[in-house]
Structure 1
Amino acid sequence: MTDELTELIQDLVRIETENPPGNEAAAAEYIHDWFSEQGIDSWLVEEPYPDRPQVAARVGDGDPTIVLNGHIDVVPAGDPAQWDYDAYGAEIDDGNLYGRGSVDMKAQVAIGMLLARDLAPEFESGDLPGSVVVHAAIGEETGEPGTKALLEAGYDGDYGVVLEPTKMRTATSEKGLAWYEIAVEGAPSHASRPDQGSNAIMHARPLLDAIEAYDAELRTRTDPLVEKAYATVTKFEAGTKENVVPERAVITIDRRILPGEAVEGVDAEVDDIVTAFAKEYDLDVSWERIRTYEAAEIDVDSPLAEVFRKHSQNVGGVAPEPWGIQASTDVRNFVNDAEMEAITWGPGDLSRAHSFNEYIKLAEIEAGYDVLDRAVRELLTSES
């Protein structure tokens, strides 16, 4: 199994699936073909985008149903010169498998695929009750509704496990995020006659101060599992040419949202800041929310979470304390949209994701397969 698992991860990593622009199709077709070769029912799902299919597979046909979810899109690899290994070479060195998407999260997709294949004979013989659904979703890296579309198409169940790298800690809650663009308008002029124009960069300076004060207030809001809320300025765009007074400045904010905070309430806070600034300085200012991942949470003592905490501790020595993930994942679609009990859990270290020389330790993924196998079996048989 170790060699087969390694080869499967390598095959997936070697298929470039960068998003943007959204190159998942080749990987989806590979996964669909792989399931077909194993004699497992799988479907290429063309929602939400016909040219970017995603995959759902099913083994078993009873209850309960456990959904193993992973995304196949990856962030761009960036400058090849910054990598010590080919970003899409899936090279192995000293027990580490390198490549974009290795830890986030094609290795975890691979263990979901293999576990479904390995359990299939027991479902078919009647030795194991219930069923397992596997998702190979698109668009997670850019907040697109890939997983949501799979769930809406009927590939749902009683439990969901989003197989992101958490060091096998079991996350029952996660922060959300919203990205806002705030535009401050001015008027252009030649830089040799700056007083004829209205410099949008200079106008934006006190707005940056207001956002900094907002962030300071947010840091006093805390959640016991995911800690603090934030509002971080991540982009500032202005100017068209060195000798032109800029007519527009756009500030981008990354707002991290705690469980229990509604997106509508965050919108209202941003609007209050913008409205007060525009009134005080008599400026034309507008804002737009351009991307949203809602926060999500389930009971920390849910049966799903307890089973995964137990086996992660027994196999991997992972402390069983309740935990929440500060990043955003597709678990929100399970909890908020499909109203399913779901966790974020998986082998690997998220701090390696999106980095040059991204890698997964093969020992980590092998232990992850073991935990996943034990946990899924317990969940299936405990309700029979």
Structure 2
Amino acid sequence: MNQEQATSFLQDIIKIKSVNPPGNETEVAQKLKTLFDEHGIETELVEYDENRANLIAHLKGKEDGPVLGLTGHMDVVPTGEIEWQHDPFGAEEEDGKIYGRGACDMKSGLVACALAMISLKEKGLPEKGEVTLLATVGEEAGAVGAHQLTKKGYAEQLDALIVAEPTQNHIKIAHKGALWPQITTYGKTAHGSMPDMGTNAVTHMNEIIHRLSGDTFELKYKEDEMLGGPTYSINVIEGGSNTNVVPDQCFVNMDIRTVPSQDHKQIIKQIEQVIQSVKEKYPDLKTDIRILNDQTSVKTSSEDPFVKLVQNTVEFLGGTTTLGGMTGYTDSSQFAHAAKTFPIIVLGPGDTSVAHQPDEYVEVAEYFNSIQLYEEIAKNFLT
């Protein structure tokens, strides 16, 4: 497949409105499946929900050998309320960039994986081993597709995994975890002119927020040389139904980004202790905690042979070999829970600073480079 065809196919994938929610990833999966079928590469659809299916593709060598995994997600975030200068699903090419929702995060990386496999197939490669693509649903909302595939055992055959998330083709060997607790307080409604007849859930939540934001709540951790320390913020709050009604319910959503030294269960216990301390002031406090998202941090040793192989390949192709980490999580948070342990790196086209933004784009040259990168890594790994 030449560069013109590679550009056109990426544009076709960007034009598919696989916005999550609801997802609608099956159309992307079917488009990729058709391409693989045309090139004689074995595929399998793994249904997650209505109009939502993961795609597995296998490019097998003539002999048994190691298995290199490539992965990318097919869903994209909503376009948002701010007006775009380019059609979010027009996949317009301008000044060496392709614009569109998912162009950066992460349809360019996903398509690059697929085209690298096709290029290998056209050259009669690999001689031994296998390249497996895992195209997932629902990464943007809890990595649910990767979770499903891991539970079903699809990751257990892998010997190494490349996550094609946007890194500007720089090598990332670690990323933070994510813990999203939702705290809800429950009160009792009353007329706004008689607040003493009710129990104000917002007032109770205000005290919880005050203590979570103060010295009573401090995350325990050992600083990571690549990821630094954790962060947390309260990013959603909702409570009350009307100005003249004492609110009987209020909830907040927290976003906690964790490092390898932390235990998510211990963090939840800390939050529970803070809430318990509020009962000293409000004995009638009633709450519950629901975990909206729980993704572990992931880190591969810089001394791992696969990391060294990727560095050597990137250097040979003129790229940057410096290793780094990421603040956001990827599907590898789920694939890392496979029964088998294997090295994981994140490497893909696109700049995360434009991901989830209006007029999201990917540099076309970077996209082409990533195709070559994946192909060369596969050649070197499967020799």
Q: CA deviation at 1:132?
A: 0.6
- Does the 8 Å CA contact 1:161/1:343 hold for their aligned counterparts? yes
Cα shift at 1:135 = 1.6
Does the residue aligned with 2:279 lie in a helix, a strand or coil? helix
**Structure 1: runs of 5+ lacking an equivalent:** none
Match of 2:381 among 372, 379, 382: 379
1:206-245 equivalences in 2 (<5 Å)? 206-213=207-214, 217-218=218-219, 221-245=222-246
Name the counterpart of 2:129: 130
Letter in 2 for 1:49: D
User: What is aligned with 1:139?
Assistant: 138
Instruction: Show the counterpart of 2:179.
Output: 178
Deviation at 1:330, TM superposition (A): 0.9
Runs of 4+ in 1 over 6 A off after TM superposition: none
Percent identity between the two aligned chains = 29
CA distance in 2: counterparts of 1:213 and 1:306, whole angstroms:
43
Identify the structure with the greater helix proportion: 1
CA distance in structure 1 between the partners assigned to 2:236 and 2:378 by the alignment = 43
Give deviations 1:297-343, integer Å, cap 9, x for gaps.
2212112212222333443542x333111110011233232422211
SS of equivalent residue, structure 1 residue 356: coil
In 2, Cα distance between equivalents of 1:205 and 1:5: 53
In structure 2, the gaps of 5 or more residues are none
1:70 aligns with 2:77: no
SS, match of residue 6 in structure 1: helix
Matches within 5 A, 1:1-384: 1-46=2-47, 48-49=48-49, 51-61=51-61, 62-79=64-81, 82-123=83-124, 128-151=127-150, 152-154=152-154, 156-213=157-214, 217-218=218-219, 221-282=222-283, 283-318=285-320, 320-338=321-339, 339-381=341-383
SS of the residue 1:270 aligns to: helix
Structure 1 residue 166 displacement after superposition: 1.1
TM-score of the aligned structures, taking structure 2 as reference length: 0.92
3-state SS in 1 of match to 2:23:
coil
**RMSD of aligned alpha carbons:** 2.0
Q: Is the 8 A contact 1:75 1:354 kept in 2?
A: yes
- Please state whether the residue corresponding to 2:382 is helix, strand or coil: helix
Change (3 A) 1:252 1:361: same
The whole-number CA distance in structure 2 between the counterparts of 1:55 and 1:234 is 33
User: Given residue 331 of structure 1, which amino acid in structure 2 is its aligned partner?
Assistant: S
Local SS of the residue matching 1:227: coil
CA-CA distance at 1:42 after TM superposition: 0.8
Distance 2:312 2:220 in 1: 33
> 1:215–1:137: structure 2 CA closer, same or farther, 3 Å change rule?
farther
Distance 1:219 1:362, change over 3 A: farther
TM-score scaled by length of structure 1:
0.92
Q: Secondary structure at the match of 1:377?
A: helix
Q: Distance in 2 between matches of 1:73 and 1:10?
A: 15
3-state SS, counterpart of residue 222 of structure 1? coil
In structure 2, relative to structure 1, the CA distance for the partners of 1:317 and 1:53 (3 Å cut) is closer
Q: Is the 8 A contact 1:173 1:259 kept in 2?
A: no
Provide the rounded CA distance (Å) in 1 between the counterparts of 2:96 and 2:216. Answer: 42
2 CA distance for matches of 1:50 and 1:100?
22
Structure-1 separation of matches of 2:324 and 2:143: 26
CA distance in structure 2 between the partners assigned to 1:335 and 1:144 by the alignment: 12
CA distance in 2, matches of 1:220, 1:158: 30
SS of the aligned residue for 1:104 comes to: helix
Report the Cα distance in structure 1 between the residues aligned to 2:38 and 2:308, rounded to whole angstroms: 35
